[in-house]
Amino acid sequence: MTMWGDLLLINNSQVGGKLTDLARIQSPRINSGNFPDFIRIKMAPTENTDTGHIEELNGLANAELARRSLRVSFIFIPVTLLVAKVTGLHQSAPKVVLAYLVMFLIFGLLRTIHTRDFEKRHKKNPDAWLRQYVFLTIGPALALGASIPLVYMHKGAGWDLIVCMMSLTGISAGATASLSARFKIFRLFQVIVLGPSIITLAFFASGKEQALSFLVILFLAQVMVLGRYFHKEFWSGLINQHELKIRAKSLEEANIKAQQAVKIKGEFLANMSHEIRTPLNGIIGLTDLVLESELNEQQHDYLSDVKISGETLLTIINEILDFSKIEAGGIVIEKRPFSLSRVLDKTIRPLRFSAESKANTLVVELDNNLPRKLKGDSHRLWQILTNLAGNAVKFTENGTITVKASLEGRSGDVCSVRLDVKDTGIGISKAAQETIFDAFSQADGSTTRNYGGTGLGLAISKKLVELMGGELVLNSEENKGSTFSFILEMKEVSEAKSQKIPKTKKNLTPQLSGLNILLVEDNSVNAKLATRLLNKSDIQVEWVTDGSQAVEAFQKNSYDIVLMDVQMPVMDGFEATQNIRKYEKGTGKQTPIIALTAHALDGYRELCLEKGMDDYLTKPLNPKILRETLSIWVPVEKNQVEPQSV
């Protein structure tokens, strides 16, 4: 059933008795259940066929009626004055002319108030507003219509009568514009204004004057046709406009829903990655431990493959997570002081072994003109360079891979730093270059088989470079090699500024043995792994499985450091940290709490610090990073200059 078909029915049902007729006047004639013939619905009606929309449409039509009427509220006054002057009626019948003027003034004032206050009055009671509007429109119409019999009786058929009739036909023509929003009001108005002229001329006049009545009938018929046409146009426009509004609204809602879905997808991926990383942490870490024990060659080989597979899986998870986060606009680029040479070193070091095994030479070129410290996102830069250099090693044999950083230019303390990753490997064909930066895209179908990979690395790198304000450009020739380049603008950090005061006193070779650590971890495999790693450094570990047990243990015993998992049942790591900090308030002590989490999200470190933790470690636990981090937080009284061997 149609929305517009219901328009009339609902309107009718809202009013009773005589008002029913009035209400019918408000809307186009519609056969119940069908679209009105004249309304060209240019778009399919939406599903929003509730009465609210019909009321809204009627409201819009009434508003337009009010707007148009307001402009001609006092039009009858100058017309009356002119007619009186031309016909001399102001002298022969001054009282009648005055009565007309006073009446038109009163009606004009009332109509002005009524239409100007439309919003308020109509909102209060739309039916009452329309009823009053009809009264204020039909009142003057009756007076206008009655003017013809009055003039005829007073002066007979002649010049005066013709002048009056001319002004009435003018008024009638003008009403096609001002009243066409409501056809029945318009029709009633026309009949009341012109009807008395037709009757007077047809029944009381004679001869030529009688024939005039036919002209008025013709005129009446013409304005009716025109009025109906304007009425149709008005309603089709109104309905189409309303449909557009509804569609725009539903599009907006759909857009909000889509954005929410993307957010939910991002959160889902983050949670999933957390869930997958946790057991992976166990697999990789424990494999590492077993690899260090007595094994025969075959066992060592098998386990090495298990470790490589685990690490590959971890890379894929990280890439998928990163990509979906970039897609959802969830990556924030940090701006912190960092050393470019360190980032290059961190990029190249892990690649040395695989480069050598493929008889490749790895070269790092660092321009001496580059400042020692720059401000930017070192982690993301490392991620981009690692991906590009990793690919360069992967696709090159017996060649050279060069990672180069140079100063392209500078303006004040802003440096344009150019980074190139060049190889002399297999190169990329022109056709593949077109799609190489798309997600999940590889040069050809055999790439995964021969070299592995997901085809996400370049897509992520390109987006990350763009987020940092640069553009990743590729120059490649098949069988000759490839160069990936980008330029980033980064601020130089003066040496004085870059020297930060450490939070606690640090020692370069702190004593880890003898430390007493509270390990809060719900996953038993991860707990076992962390305990083993810590025990290897002669660290005592007390293990609890959730936040509330941690708070309890903390109140009973004293610990040097707390390693706190974040996502745990019963009480999570954040709440536990806050409770521990509350408990410590009176004691004047602050035990270092290090977050231990599989969440590798941007801003998560900051969140941990915000929640009262002191540092942040991601799983899978890297033994070296674990040792380094712990050594930062060794209590001053336990610091002894003694080299560590873990």
Contacting residues for 566 by C-beta, under 8 A, at least 6 apart = 572, 573, 574, 595, 596, 597, 599, 608
Note whether 462 and 472 are within 8 A (CB): yes
DSSP 306-344: HHHHHHHHHHHHHHHHHHHHHHTT------EEEEHHHHH
Is 456 near ligand ADP (CB under 6 A)?
yes
Do residues 201 and 212 touch, judged by C-beta distance below 8 A? yes
Out of 168, 223, 351, 458, the only residue in the binding site for ligand ADP (CB under 6 A) is 458
Which of 631, 335, 381, 591 shows the shortest CA–CA distance to 511? 631
Rounded least distance, CB 286 to ligand ADP, Å: 27
In total, the chain counts a number of residues equal to 646
Provide, rounded to whole angstroms, the least separation between the CB of residue 387 and ligand ADP. Answer: 6
- Total residues in contact with ligand ADP, by rule CB under 6 A: 20
The nearer residue to ligand ADP, 236 or 273, going by C-beta atoms, is 273
Closest CB to ligand ADP among 448 and 535?
Answer: 448
Nearest in space to 595 (alpha carbons), one of 524, 520, 545, 504: 520
What minimum distance in Å lies between the beta carbon of 454 and ligand ADP? 5
CA dist list (Å): 401 to 306, 404, 585: 29, 10, 55
Q: Which is nearer to ligand ADP, 220 or 426 (CB)?
A: 426
- For ligand ADP, give the closer residue by CB, 18 or 449: 449
Phi-psi region of 452 (alpha: psi -120 to 50; beta: other; left: phi over 0): left
| Residue 152 to residue 264: CA distance in whole angstroms | 81
Nearer to ligand ADP, 389 or 551 (CB): 389
- In the sheet that 615-618 helps form, which strands lie side by side, from edge to edge? 540-544, 516-520, 561-565, 593-597, 615-618
Q: Does 564 bind ligand ADP (CB under 6 A)?
A: no
Q: Which region, judged by CB under 6 A, interacts with ligand ADP, from 303-311, 335-343, 422-430, 516-524? A: 422-430
- CA pair distance 480, 475, nearest whole angstrom: 11
Q: How far apart are CA 308 and CA 290, in angstroms?
A: 14
Q: Which range, of 12-20, 453-461, 515-523, 592-600, touches ligand ADP by CB under 6 A?
A: 453-461
Query: Which CB atom, from 5 or from 481, has the smaller least distance to ligand ADP?
Result: 481
Between 326 and 596, CB nearer to ligand ADP: 326
Rounded least distance, CB 467 to ligand ADP, Å: 17
- State the nearest-atom distance from the C-beta of 525 to ligand ADP, in Å: 29
Give residue 25's identity as a one-letter amino acid code: I
Q: How far is CA 291 from CA 155, 211, 285, 537, in A?
A: 123, 117, 10, 18
User: Judged by CB under 6 A, does residue 347 bind ligand ADP?
Assistant: no
Classify burial at 474, counting beta carbons within 10 Å of its beta carbon; exposed 0-12, middle 13-18, buried 19 or more.
middle
Alpha-carbon distance 484 to 486, whole Å?
A: 7
Residue with tokens 């990163």: 322
Q: Does 389 bind ligand ADP (CB under 6 A)?
A: no
Q: Which residue is nearest to ligand ADP (CB)?
A: 453
Cis omega (within 30 of 0) for bond into 502: no
Query: Rounded to the nearest whole angstrom, what is the least distance from the CB of residue 466 to ligand ADP in the complex?
Result: 15
Rule CB under 6 A: say whether 510 interacts with ligand ADP: no
Check if the beta carbon of residue 20 is closer than 8 Å to that of residue 130: no
Provide the β-strand partners of residue 373: 339
Work out how close the CB of 443 gets to ligand ADP at its nearest, in angstroms, rounded to a whole number: 3
Options 6-14, 421-429, 553-561, 621-629: segment touching ligand ADP (CB under 6 A): 421-429
Sketch the per residue contact string, 520 through 539, with ligand ADP: x for CB under 6 A, - otherwise: --------------------
CB nearer to ligand ADP: give 27 or 402.
402
| Cβ proximity to ligand ADP, 164 vs 456, nearer residue | 456
Residue whose CB is less far from ligand ADP, 198 or 426: 426
- Residue in 443, 518, 566, 596 binding ligand ADP, rule: CB under 6 A: 443
Q: Which of residues 111-130 bind ligand ADP (CB under 6 A)?
A: none
Q: Does 515 interact with ligand ADP (rule: CB under 6 A)?
A: no
Cβ of residue 358: shortest distance to ligand ADP, in angstroms? 13
Angle between helices 159-178 and 51-71 (to 10 degrees): 140
Query: Which position among 426, 550, 596, 608 is part of the footprint of ligand ADP (CB under 6 A)?
Result: 426
Cα 23–chain centre separation: 43
Cα 175 from Cα 521, distance rounded (Å) = 82
Q: Does 423 bind ligand ADP (CB under 6 A)?
A: yes
Q: Judged by CB, which is closer to ligand ADP: 169, or 485?
A: 485
Q: Per-residue x/- mask for ligand ADP, residues 391 to 410, rule CB under 6 A?
A: xx--x---------------
Whole-number Cα distances in Å, 264 to 258, 268, 404, 597, 625: 10, 6, 40, 21, 32
Query: Using the rule CB under 6 A, which residue among 36, 108, 140, 425 binds ligand ADP?
Result: 425
Does 457 interact with ligand ADP (rule: CB under 6 A)? yes
Q: Which residues pair with 411 in a beta bridge?
A: 414
Q: Looking at beta carbons only, is 333 or 474 nearer to ligand ADP?
A: 474
Q: How far is CA 107 from CA 118, 123, 136, 198, in A?
A: 16, 22, 6, 25
The CA-CA-CA angle for residues 442, 444, 448, to 5°, reads 65
State in angstroms the smallest separation of the CB of 481 from ligand ADP: 7
Q: Decide whether 284 or 428 has the Cβ nearer to ligand ADP.
A: 428
In the complex, least distance from residue 429 CB atom to ligand ADP, rounded to whole angstroms:
9
429 part of the interface to ligand ADP, by CB under 6 A: no
When asked if residue 442 is in the footprint of ligand ADP (CB under 6 A), the reply is yes
Beta carbon nearer to ligand ADP, 112 or 454 = 454
Query: Is residue 482 within the footprint of ligand ADP (CB under 6 A)?
Result: yes
Interface ranges with ligand ADP (CB under 6 A): 387, 391-392, 395, 423, 425-426, 428, 436, 442-443, 447, 453-459, 482
